[in-house]
Structure 1
Amino acid sequence: MISANASEETREQYISNVLATWRAATPEQLERGRTWYRTAHDLASLISDGDPRAGAGVIAALSANKSWSENTRLAHRAYEFGVPTGHFQDALTKVTRIMAGADPAEVLPMERKTGMFFRCIANPCDPDAVVVDRHAHDIAVGEIYGQRDRGLSSARRYALLAHCYREAALRLGELPSTVQSVTWVVHTERIASAGRRGRRI
């Protein structure tokens, strides 16, 4: 795991890694990254019958260790049948509370990935929120961690990496969530491409 007490030099390297990934984006990747959270916002509104904040909360609560397709499938089902399924009990309890009318901000861990994911979907123009998932971590540190523990449950480590994305966004004149989503698209497509070629990354 990276140190939560990174030096200024290390922080600058993390920022540089994020910027390099951003600059590697094709026009099509830039467009998809820029619209990712707006599209997710529209989906949250659709599945929740016009309440994107609640829909975003349900999606976020069900996001841990799930692909985006599985995440959205579970969220759809929760609203369709009125009962969440397919996840750990803690996540299902959070979804039940949100669907019963609780404010997602009172239910979700707001300074971690889940809470930030909610914020970015609920308000794609949020000027501060940034999701640091495993891919965002690996982009910043410049290394594919695979199944190794990244230590993102540490508030200080999460805050360090979120700061690096915010600083990269400031330099680019973009929202932190946009920098994260564009670099996520670039990074995950690199992984998929390397996997199709049978290369180890």
Structure 2
Amino acid sequence: MIPVKSTEEQRLHYTRAIIEKWEEATPDQKRRGRKWYDVAHEFALEISGGDATKGAGVLAALSANTSWAENCRLARKAFTEGVATGHVRDALTKANRIMAGTDPAEVLPMKLKTGWFYLCIENPEHPESVVIDRHAHDIAVRKVYGQRDRGLGAQGRYNTLADCYRAAAQAIGEIPSRVQAVTWVVHIERQS
């Protein structure tokens, strides 16, 4: 687990690892990664009847510990049936509140993964949003943790990695969410 307060040297190490993973991407992986949040945004619009905020919020609320395919299935089902089912109580409560009209920013933990995931889907061009999930962590530390805890619930640890993705994005000339998505594609496909 990385320190909650990383040194400048550690931050540079994480940032370099992210840039190196970006540089490993094939042109096709870069194309797909760059479009990932755009596609997710379109899906959010589709399932919610044109309300990207609501669609992105429900997707984010139902995202914890699910694959993207399962996340999409649960969100589509929630909008079709008018009630979220098939997940843990906390996620279902959040999704149902969002579908009932509560602003996702009032329901989701906006300074952690789920909140940032919502922002990335709701506005794929957001200049600061970046999702730090287990894969983003493993890319930055150059090690696959498997099922071990990464401690990403700690605000300082999460912010350290988010800042490293932002620094990598600035060096690359992309927005942070695209850097995260492209490196995620490379990471996932290398593990398969």
Q: Same fold (TM over 0.5)?
A: yes
Matched, 1:100 2:100: yes
Aligned partner of 1:134 in structure 2 is 134
Aligned partner of 2:114 in structure 1 is 114
User: Structure 2: 5+ residue runs without aligned partners?
Assistant: none
Corresponding letter in the other structure for 1:91: A
Aligned partner of 1:161 in structure 2 is 161
When the two structures are superposed, what TM-score results if normalisation uses the length of structure 1? 0.95
Corresponding letter in the other structure for 2:41: H
Superposition pairs of residues 174-193 of structure 1, within 5 angstroms: 174-192=174-192
Aligned residues: 192
Aligned partner of 1:86 in structure 2 is 86
Aligned partner of 1:12 in structure 2 is 12
Counterpart Cα distance in 1 of 2:148 and 2:93: 28
What is the Cα-based RMSD across aligned positions, in Å? 0.5
The alpha carbon displacement at 1:7 in A equals 1.1
The alpha carbon displacement at 1:173 in A equals 1.0
Counterpart Cα distance in 2 of 1:151 and 1:45: 32
Counterpart Cα distance in 1 of 2:129 and 2:32: 19
The alpha carbon displacement at 1:184 in A equals 0.2
Counterpart Cα distance in 1 of 2:112 and 2:78: 23
Q: Give the share of equivalent positions with the same residue, in percent.
A: 60
Counterpart Cα distance in 1 of 2:126 and 2:97: 24
The alpha carbon displacement at 1:162 in A equals 0.2
Corresponding letter in the other structure for 1:189: E
1:16-41 residue CA offsets vs partner (Å, 9 max, x unmatched): 00000000000000000000000000
Aligned partner of 2:60 in structure 1 is 60
Counterpart Cα distance in 1 of 2:77 and 2:181: 25
Higher RCO, 1 vs 2 (CA within 8 Å, ≥6 residues apart): 2
Corresponding letter in the other structure for 1:125: E
Counterpart Cα distance in 2 of 1:173 and 1:4: 27
- Secondary structure of 2:58's counterpart equals helix
Runs of 4+ in 1 over 4 A off after TM superposition: none
Counterpart Cα distance in 1 of 2:136 and 2:118: 16
1:45-96 residue CA offsets vs partner (Å, 9 max, x unmatched): 0000000110000000000000000000000000000110011101100011
Aligned partner of 2:145 in structure 1 is 145
- Secondary structure of 1:2's counterpart equals coil
Counterpart Cα distance in 2 of 1:33 and 1:173: 15
Counterpart Cα distance in 2 of 1:50 and 1:89: 26
The alpha carbon displacement at 1:5 in A equals 1.5
Counterpart Cα distance in 1 of 2:86 and 2:134: 21
The alpha carbon displacement at 1:4 in A equals 1.3
The alpha carbon displacement at 1:6 in A equals 1.2
When the two structures are superposed, what TM-score results if normalisation uses the length of structure 2? 0.99
- Secondary structure of 2:137's counterpart equals helix
